[in-house]
């Protein structure tokens, strides 16, 4: 009997194959488990879009839940995209713009049109009315360039004509910034691999198990605390250097992705409120307690002792040159003394040396401009635009809500920069109908009351929690609202009420109380997001008719019918308007359609009677007494006592005398 080991007698390649068998078996088991989970589990919900049907058209709708893979399982709060619709089949005449970035591109604190994409959409439709525009907002709170770099290849499937980018504030605390694992810090290519792995059902199941095991250990108070973990970062640290270098690499890779696909990009640098006090500095400043020094500066500022403040900071000497608190207060004092040119660099240094990096340091803008110049990407300067829009060159609370999110006026400035860059790019073949932009006015920009009030509530929630202290802002519209309207906004913010339902309810209140323009702006705001809604177009047309603006009403009613030819209310109103305007041939056709198609319900009988009254009026206008009599009598049989029909019958009878 042989005592030789059979494995040792194998050839080398056979031994190699034999050694790989256990690994292959494990891989096959993993693959089988993945397929089993996909076959037996619920459908995947991690795509960027879902398909929906509206008005006979297939649309893509942004999937609000698709950002989950960028955040650890069990995260209490996961940011979401806005709900945006755009056509699955892109029309030849459509110019499609994709907007990328974090919360300022998303539009915090607003939920509708008071943001960069919303204002830009209004402006381009005004400047190029013959073009079909789709401005798609893929911005989201708390994401950074790691996420945008990962999303970029998938966005190419939507065939964008242009990509706009506004990002950079979340590089430290966004996904896998300073919170990246040690292997990812050494080997950054592991981060996108991790995102891919999180799309596997097996990985999702394992992460859920581990996350459930950690349950009960406490949750973050809010998104800012969750993403930052309260970690403090010095600008002059190896960790900061790594984050900034990685941001430059990501930005270059994003530009490359779109350039290789032939998709033009316009990027902007980023702006922040340098008049916002630093969140955190060192506890000591020049051997003094920093908190006590800050309290003294606040007291001096309240008493307008600005010269004393400057002297107090100067007395600290060189030891205070990097501390954000004295830098900030000296900047505040110099600005108040009418010396903004001296104040501005101190305020920027205070921002950069804030140990809580919720505002990007100036180095981020340097990187954006450098990478854009190297790659030939047009770059606008939101930072400069906001400085120019301020009275003394320092953009403060008039243009920002808190540390970095703009007010509507601030968003208007940034959107205007993108509008000018788009116009200058030559990408739009159509000649501009006008070079005058829509002015900064809420009604003109189609920014509704509900959006402004929602922003007021959002800012109250945001600044009422960590890390904000002693920081309050007066609301734009909420303070003057009656209790019912305030309740409506708060229910919407708490997601007890869907956004569209809240818009309709607020418009109904405005209409009922005679605030017609606010109701009309609400309908127009809704149509900015979805121009094809037959019901919203009908309501806007009906309201304009009530306001005595029949010529404008006709356009909305025609759009309503194009979207839904069977909607009899729109057809009735359009027919009556056309008859009253002397376009009887068009109007009679619509009214006859209503008479033929109206049902037998009380509401339908009323519509039919209205249509018959309109037909009677058209016959009366052409002196056809017999036809007018038949129509008005039919109307009165359906709705006895119908006042308009009674008056028309009297006029017809008078005609025969």
Its pTM stands at: 0.91
Residue 593, pLDDT score: 96
Average pLDDT over residues 200-208: 66
Question: Could you report the per-residue pLDDT of 416-457, keeping only the tens digit for each?
Answer: 999 999 999 999 999 999 999 999 999 999 999 999 999 999
Question: Could you report the per-residue pLDDT of 416-426, keeping only the tens digit for each?
Answer: 999 999 999 99
User: Whole-angstrom Cα distance, residue 521 to residue 545?
Assistant: 15
Average pLDDT over residues 522-548: 97
**Sign of the CA dihedral running 188, 190, 193, 194:** negative
Provide the 10 A C-beta neighbour count for residue 651.
Answer: 14
Torsion of CA 75, 468, 273, 413, to 10 degrees: 60
Question: Could you report the per-residue pLDDT of 102-148, keeping only the tens digit for each?
Answer: 999 999 999 999 999 999 999 999 999 999 999 999 999 999 999 99
pLDDT score of 19 more than 70:
no
For residue 33, name the pLDDT band (cuts at 50, 70, 90): low
Classify residue 403 as exposed, middle or buried by CB count within 10 Å of its CB (0-12, 13-18, 19+).
buried
Region of poorest pLDDT, from 283-292, 350-359, 365-374 = 283-292
Q: What is the mean pLDDT of the chain?
A: 91
Which residue is associated with the tokens 């149509």? Answer: 527
Which residue is associated with the tokens 């007018």? Answer: 628
Task: Please tell me whether residue 137 adopts helix, strand or coil conformation.
Answer: strand
Is pLDDT larger for residue 472 or for residue 5?
472
Distances, alpha carbon 379 to alpha carbons 33, 128, 262, 375, 412, in Å? 48, 22, 18, 11, 17
Question: Could you report the per-residue pLDDT of 382-420, keeping only the tens digit for each?
Answer: 999 999 999 999 999 999 999 999 999 999 999 999 999
Classify residue 43 as exposed, middle or buried by CB count within 10 Å of its CB (0-12, 13-18, 19+).
exposed
pLDDT score of 70 more than 70:
yes
* pLDDT above 90 coverage of the chain, percent: 79
Question: Could you report the per-residue pLDDT of 614-651, keeping only the tens digit for each?
Answer: 999 999 989 999 999 999 999 999 999 999 999 999 99
Is pLDDT larger for residue 2 or for residue 270?
270
Name the H helices within 320-446: 324-336, 340-352, 362-375, 382-389, 408-425, 442-445
The residues pairing with 165 across neighbouring beta strands, listed in sequence order, are 100, 267
User: Whole-angstrom Cα distance, residue 524 to residue 547?
Assistant: 15
pLDDT score of 657 more than 70:
no
Cβ–Cβ < 8 Å for 147, 70: yes
Cβ–Cβ < 8 Å for 192, 150: yes
Which residue is associated with the tokens 């097996």? Answer: 202
Kindly report the length of the chain: 657
Average pLDDT over residues 513-527: 98
For residue 63, name the pLDDT band (cuts at 50, 70, 90): very high
Cβ–Cβ < 8 Å for 652, 632: yes
Average pLDDT over residues 246-258: 98
Classify residue 481 as exposed, middle or buried by CB count within 10 Å of its CB (0-12, 13-18, 19+).
middle
User: Whole-angstrom Cα distance, residue 427 to residue 437?
Assistant: 18
Residue 434 tokens, joined: 């006008």
Cβ–Cβ < 8 Å for 543, 512: no
Cβ–Cβ < 8 Å for 188, 252: no
User: Whole-angstrom Cα distance, residue 535 to residue 556?
Assistant: 10
User: Whole-angstrom Cα distance, residue 243 to residue 597?
Assistant: 66
Task: Please tell me whether residue 269 adopts helix, strand or coil conformation.
Answer: strand
**Bridge-based pairing state of the strands 265-269 and 379-381:** parallel
Distances, alpha carbon 592 to alpha carbons 13, 535, 568, 607, 626, in Å? 86, 21, 11, 11, 17
Cα 358 from chain centroid?
20
Cβ-based neighbours of 37, under 8 Å, separated by 6 or more: 201, 202, 205
Residue 458, pLDDT score: 96
pLDDT score of 477 more than 70:
yes
Residue 1, pLDDT score: 47
Helices 568-580 & 550-563 angle (0-180, nearest 10): 150
Cβ–Cβ < 8 Å for 360, 171: yes
């Amino acid at each position: 009997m042989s005592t030789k080991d059979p494995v040792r007698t194998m050839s080398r390649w056979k031994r190699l194959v034999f050694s790989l068998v256990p690994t292959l078996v494990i891989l096959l088991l993993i693959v089988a488990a993945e397929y089993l989970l996909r076959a037996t589990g619920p459908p995947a919900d991690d795509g960027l879009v879902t398909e929906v049907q509206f008005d006979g058209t297939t649309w893509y709708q942004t999937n609000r839940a698709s950002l989950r893979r960028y955040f650890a399982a069990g995260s209490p709060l996961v940011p979401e995209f806005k709900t945006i619709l755009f056509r699955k089949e892109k029309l030849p005449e459509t110019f499609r713009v994709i907007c990328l970035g974090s919360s300022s591109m998303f539009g915090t604190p607003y939920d509708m049109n008071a943001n960069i994409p919303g204002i830009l959409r209004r402006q381009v439709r005004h400047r190029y009315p013959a073009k079909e525009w789709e401005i798609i907002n893929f911005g989201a709170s708390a994401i950074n360039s790691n996420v945008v770099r990962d999303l970029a290849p998938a966005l190419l499937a939507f065939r964008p004509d242009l990509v706009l980018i506004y990002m950079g504030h979340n590089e430290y605390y966004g996904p896998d910034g300073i919170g990246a694992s040690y292997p990812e810090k050494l080997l950054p290519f592991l981060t996108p691999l991790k995102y891919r792995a999180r799309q596997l059902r097996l990985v999702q199941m394992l992460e859920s198990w581990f996350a459930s095991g950690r349950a009960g250990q406490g949750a973050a108070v809010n998104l800012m605390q969750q993403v930052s973990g309260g970690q403090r970062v010095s600008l002059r640290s190896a960790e900061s250097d790594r984050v900034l270098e990685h941001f430059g690499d990501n930005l270059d890779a994003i530009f490359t992705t779109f350039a290789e696909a032939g998709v033009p990009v316009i990027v902007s640098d980023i702006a922040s409120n340098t008049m916002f006090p630093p969140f955190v500095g060192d506890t000591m400043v020049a051997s003094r307690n920093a908190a006590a020094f800050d309290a003294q500066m606040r007291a001096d500022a309240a008493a307008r002792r600005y010269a004393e403040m400057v002297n107090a900071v100067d007395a600290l000497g060189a030891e205070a040159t990097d501390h954000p608190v004295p830098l900030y207060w000296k900047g505040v004092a110099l600005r108040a003394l009418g010396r903004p040119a001296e104040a501005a660099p101190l305020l920027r240094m205070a921002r950069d040396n804030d140990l809580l990096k919720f505002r990007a340091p100036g180095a981020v803008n340097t990187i954006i401009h450098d990478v854009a110049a190297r790659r030939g990407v047009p770059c606008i300067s939101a930072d400069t635009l906001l400085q120019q829009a301020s009275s003394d060159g320092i953009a403060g609370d008039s243009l920002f809500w808190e540390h970095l999110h703009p007010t509507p006026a601030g968003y208007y400035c940034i959107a205007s920069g993108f509008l000018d860059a788009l116009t200058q790019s030559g990408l739009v073949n159509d000649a501009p109908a006008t070079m005058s932009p829509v002015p900064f006015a809420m009604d003109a920009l189609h920014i509704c009351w509900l959006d402004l009030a929602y922003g007021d509530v959002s800012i109250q929630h945001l600044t009422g929690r960590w890390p904000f202290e002693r920081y309050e802002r007066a609301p734009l519209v909420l303070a003057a609202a009656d209790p019912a309207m305030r309740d409506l906004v708060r229910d919407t913010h708490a997601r007890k009420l869907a956004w569209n339902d809240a818009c309709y309810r607020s418009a109904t209140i405005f209409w009922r109380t005679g605030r017609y323009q606010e109701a009309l702006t609400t309908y127009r705001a809704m149509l900015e997001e979805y121009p094809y809604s037959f019901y919203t177009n009908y309501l806007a047309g009906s309201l304009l008719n009530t306001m005595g603006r029949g010529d404008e009403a006709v356009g909305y009613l025609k759009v309503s019918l194009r979207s839904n030819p069977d909607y009899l209310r729109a057809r009735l109103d359009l027919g009556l308007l056309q008859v009253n305007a002397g376009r009887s041939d068009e109007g009679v056709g619509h009214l006859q359609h209503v008479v033929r198609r109206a049902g037998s319900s009380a509401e339908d009988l009323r519509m039919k009677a209205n249509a018959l009254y309109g037909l009677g009026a058209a016959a009366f206008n052409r002196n056809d007494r017999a036809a007018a009599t038949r129509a008005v009598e039919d109307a009165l049989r359906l709705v006895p006592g119908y006042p308009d029909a009674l008056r028309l019958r009297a006029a017809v009878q008078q005609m025969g005398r």
